[in-house]
Structures are given as C-alpha cells and as structure tokens.
C-alpha cells in the first residue's frame, strides 16, 4: 500500500511543478521565448527562503511570497536587459532560447557564489539545504501540500477572472493573440510582455520556494527540474495556462507515483531513473500530440470510445 505521506508529497510536488510549468507557458505564449533561466529561478526561489530565514528568522513560510516577488523581478530584469531588444529585432526562437540560457548561466553562477558565501562566511551548510523540518500539519495534512494545492486552485480561478474580467487581462489576451491588434486598441504590448515576465518569474520562484519544504535543495536543482517543467508545459500544449497547470500536475504526479510504482516492482534501483518519466512524456507529447492536452479533440476521442465513426 502507498503511504499517505508519499501521496501528500506527490501532490505538493506536482502542484509546484504545475506552477513552474505555468510560468514557462506564460512567457512562451506572450514572447515566444522558451525560458531556460526558469531553472535557476526555481533554485533562487529555494535559496531566497533559506537565506532570509537564516538571516532574519521567523517562520520560513513567511518568506515564500518574498521569494516569488524577487524571482518575478529577475524575470523583469531579463525582459528589460535583453529579451525586449531581441523581440524588437524580430529574433528567431533559437536566439531567444539561447539568450535565456545565457541568463541561466549567470543566475546559476550567482547562486553558487551565494552558496559559497553562506558556507564560507556564515558557516551555513548551504550546498544542500533541508527545510522539511519546518513544515507542519493542518488537520493532519502537511501545510506544504495544502498551500500548494490552494495556490494552484486559486491561481487557476484568478487567472481566469484576470483574463476574462479585468481590462488589462483582456488586453493581455488580445496582445498575446495578435500584437498588431493590441497596438490598434491602444494597449502597450511591452507592458504585457513585462507583466508576463514578472508573473512567469514569480511562478518559478513560488514553485521553488514551496518545494524547499518537501525536498532537499541544492544550487543546480533547477537544472534537474527544468526537464519536468518543460515536459509539463509541453504536455499542456504550450499555448494554454490551464493546459500547463494540468500538464505540469500530471507530469509531476506520474513522475512521483510512477517511480514509486516501478521501484516497488523492480526495487529501489529504479529510483535513479525518475527523470526518464517526464522526458518520455515530453518526447511523446511533442512527437504525437504536438498540440498537447488542449489540442486533442476530446469530442472525437469520445466518439471513438463510444464506437461511433468520426
């Protein structure tokens, strides 16, 4: 039988992956930029919580929103320093992607410098951070699980409200769908891009900051998780925030529970292959369902299932 604690962890992990995947999709939808720097932003999210807690005390959970805002600002900085110019020049997808890789290397280097600084000057064990002990339970459910699920649900609802009910949200949708139209409507597309870089970055940091309560963090953890995040975003179809939330959740869940299942069947050795699951999910999605979950014609599937001819 599967342990309840494992299920809770799986739910928390998948929710956080969903947040990160939504961040990737957000930035990709508005600027066509596959953001490799998402990796380091997730790690930074973890380290923000860790560092602030060690310096200022209190409960580590209170630094989660701070971490999200700061990584959001990193996103804004990326947009303003280079992404903006590349978009203006009409640079191709590959150049856009490569430039974020450059940013990822810088963020990775800076994070390692921070980790070195914390360990050398402040004698903290910063190469591997463990904060699971600060998690607590609410009505028997770990707070890390509860808050992650609540955030995913609220986010889904609020993104819906934001994009359909607020003026700026509608403008944002218009800009993403047709940048020229936005100009005609008197919307500044740059503000829209800026906002999506902020939200996208914040989602990465938020996911990372929450993840630190269920697993050990280290400076390159983002580079390991990026594959799962991309997988979630791609399985979600890359052009839908809801799709990416769902895709990220499913990929995270299948990774967590899938490897648990495989290890009960074939032994603990299987745990090492954990990453293969999201990788396979991603490649299968790209090659066979390039439109992702959103692109599958569910009506047709239902017909086929019911045995009718399409």
Partner 1 sequence: MIELGQLYILIRYILIDFAISMIVTLSLNFELGIAAIAQFGRVLAVEIGAYVAGGLTGRILAYTIPELRQYSGAEYSNHLINFKLVDTINRTLLEHNALLSIGILILTLALAAIIGGIVGWLTSYPAIRLKEAYLGITLLAFGDVVMLIAQNYDPIVGATQGVSVPDPFRWARPYSFEAALIIALILAGLTFIFFEMLVRSPFGRALKAMRDDEVAAKVYGKDIVKLRTYALIIGSAFAAMAGAYYTMYIGSCKAFTYTRLTWTFWPWAFMMLGGTGNNVGIAVGVLIFVIVRTIIINYKTYLEPFVPFDPIWLEPMFVGVVIILLSVFRPQGLIPEKPAFTIKKRRIRSIIEIMRKQAS
The binding site for partner 1 (CB under 8 A) comprises 34, 81-82, 85-86, 91-95, 97-99, 101-110, 112-113, 116-117, 120-121, 223, 227, 230, 234, 269, 272-273, 275-276, 279-280, 282-283, 286-287, 290
Q: Give whichever of 87 and 149 is closer to partner 1, judged by the CB atom.
A: 87
d(CA 10, CA 4): 10
DSSP 266: H
Residue 250 C-beta: closest distance to partner 1, Å? 17
Q: Give whichever of 92 and 183 is closer to partner 1, judged by the CB atom.
A: 92
Which residues are CB-contacts of 278 (< 8 A; sequence separation ≥ 6)? Answer: 227, 228, 231, 232, 251, 254, 255
Q: Give whichever of 10 and 282 is closer to partner 1, judged by the CB atom.
A: 282
Residue 51 C-beta: closest distance to partner 1, Å? 14
Q: Write the CA distances from 189 to 11, 164, 171, integer angstroms.
A: 36, 18, 9
d(CA 86, CA 78): 11
Residue 113 C-beta: closest distance to partner 1, Å? 4
Residue 98 C-beta: closest distance to partner 1, Å? 6
SS3 of residue 291 by DSSP: coil
DSSP 274: T
d(CA 173, CA 170): 5
Q: Give whichever of 82 and 162 is closer to partner 1, judged by the CB atom.
A: 82
Q: Of the candidates 280, 261, 282, which has an alpha carbon nearest to the alpha carbon of residue 270?
A: 261
Q: Give whichever of 106 and 304 is closer to partner 1, judged by the CB atom.
A: 106
- Tokens 């860790």 — which residue? 50
Residue 28 C-beta: closest distance to partner 1, Å? 9
Q: Give whichever of 93 and 301 is closer to partner 1, judged by the CB atom.
A: 93
Q: Give whichever of 112 and 156 is closer to partner 1, judged by the CB atom.
A: 112
Residue 216 C-beta: closest distance to partner 1, Å? 18
- Tokens 């369902």 — which residue? 289
Residue 220 C-beta: closest distance to partner 1, Å? 9
Which residues are CB-contacts of 224 (< 8 A; sequence separation ≥ 6)? Answer: 275
35 and 100 in contact (C-beta within 8 Å)? Answer: yes
Q: Of the candidates 122, 102, 22, which has an alpha carbon nearest to the alpha carbon of residue 68?
A: 22
């Amino acid at each position: 039988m599967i342990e309840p604690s494992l299920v809770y962890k799986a739910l928390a992990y998948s929710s956080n992956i969903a947040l990160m995947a939504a961040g990737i999709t957000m930035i990709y939808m508005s600027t066509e930029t596959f953001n490799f720097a998402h990796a380091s932003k997730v790690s930074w999210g973890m380290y923000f919580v860790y560092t602030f807690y060690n310096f200022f005390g209190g409960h580590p959970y209170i630094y989660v929103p701070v971490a999200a805002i700061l990584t959001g600002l990193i996103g804004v900085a990326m947009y303003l320093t280079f992404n903006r110019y590349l978009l203006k020049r009409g640079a191709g997808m590959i150049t856009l992607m490569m430039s974020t890789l450059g940013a990822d290397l810088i963020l990775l280097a800076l994070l390692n410098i921070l980790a070195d600084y914390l360990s050398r000057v402040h004698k903290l064990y910063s190469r591997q951070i463990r904060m699971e002990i600060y998690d607590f339970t609410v009505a028997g459910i770990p707070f890390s699980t509860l808050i992650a699920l609540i955030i995913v649900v609220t986010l889904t609802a609020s993104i819906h409200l934001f994009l359909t009910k607020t003026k700026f949200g509608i403008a944002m949708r218009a800009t993403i769908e047709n940048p020229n139209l936005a100009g005609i409507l008197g919307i500044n597309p740059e503000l829209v891009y800026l906002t999506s870089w902020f939200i996208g970055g914040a989602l990465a940091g938020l996911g990372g900051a929450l993840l630190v309560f269920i697993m050990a963090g280290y400076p390159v953890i983002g580079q390991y998780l990026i594959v799962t995040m991309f997988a979630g975003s791609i399985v979600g179809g890359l052009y839908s925030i809801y799709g990416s939330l769902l895709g990220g959740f499913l990929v995270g869940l299948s990774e967590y529970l899938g490897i648990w299942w495989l290890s009960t069947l074939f032994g603990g050795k299987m745990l090492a292959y954990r990453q293969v699951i999201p990788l396979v999910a991603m490649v299968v999605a790209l090659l066979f369902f390039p439109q992702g979950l959103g692109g599958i014609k569910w009506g047709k599937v239902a017909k086929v299932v019911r045995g009718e001819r399409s």
